[in-house]
Amino acid sequence: MTDPISLALVGVGKIARDQHIPSIAGNDAFRLEAAVSRHGRVDDVENFTDFDEFLKARPDVKAVSLCTPPEVRFDMAVKAIEAGRHVLLEKPPAATIGEAEALSALARTRGVTLFATWHSRFAVCVAPATTWLAGKALQSIEIIWKEDVRRWHPGQDWIWEAGGFGVFDPGINALSILTALLSEPVIVRSAKLEIPENRRQPIAASLAMRTPSGLPMTADFDWRQEGPQTWDITVKTDGGTLTLSKGGSEMYIDGQPQQTDTDREYAGIYARFAELVHAGQSDADFQPLRVVADAFLCGETIKTDAFHE
């Protein structure tokens, strides 16, 4: 039997507590040995406030899961890779395409695993949806991804700063599913970015996209939706209409339910990470990040009302 992979959790915030810690605990392939955070702590493991100190003190820890905000993640990832540690990157994997590609190249050079995670790709209905779409002629795709930022990101000011992504922080989840469903790249034709007058990142965005073969796609992202939340992707084909709802946890064909299950996205992430480490491989797909970058490059900026928590 293979010994568990010793792991450190870096960044002990809401997503780490809600998703990473329970998923690590539920996977026998890993043993959580340490945590690194300026403000948070994890019970029953060694805790550090400084990442460099952790790397020096715990050379026995073979892998790190980086759950910090993207704008500070690059330097930590570089240090971890150069120290010979396998690296899991929370989404989005980096603040820029340049950072992401540099990390991928460095991991190849150092011979360690780099896993750029997209948790929504592990939603229970994404794989069945991909199977159902195989062989069908796609006619159009519509994404509607609207949620309440106050509910999901309370007090997280970093999301509104440069490198924080704004509404693309959840929107990139939809784009990760989209790019998993398609065999062609996604091209952004135009975008409108609504930015509150007191913020630096968009609170809403609409994208018009296409594939090289001409498949039309649209995406509507909004962080101002109260009440029921909407995470839907609708794909019209010559064989019917497929809808993924609730972020990929429900699947419908022509309005008829096909499959639903509880959320196990992060459990899937850690199962995949263990598989990659044992195989000596990496999984670093940056397509969703590129779509977001292209939206910023060609997007029309629209000032909107100030946002206050």
Active site residues: 91
Question: Which residues does 207 contact at the CB level (< 8 Å), separation at least 6?
Answer: 188, 190, 191, 217, 218, 219, 221, 291, 295
From the CA atom positions of the chain, what is the Rg in Å?
A: 19
Cα–Cα dist 102/153, whole Å? 29
Query: Quick one: which of 133, 144, 138 has its CA closest to 216?
Result: 138
Q: Are 31 and 61 in contact (CB under 8 A)?
A: no
Residues in the chain: 309
Residues 6+ apart with CB under 8 A from 70: 92, 93, 94, 95, 163, 164, 165
Which amino acid makes up residue 114? L
Give the end-to-end CA distance of the chain in Å, rounded to a whole number.
50
Specify whether the CB–CB gap between 168 and 202 falls below 8 A. yes
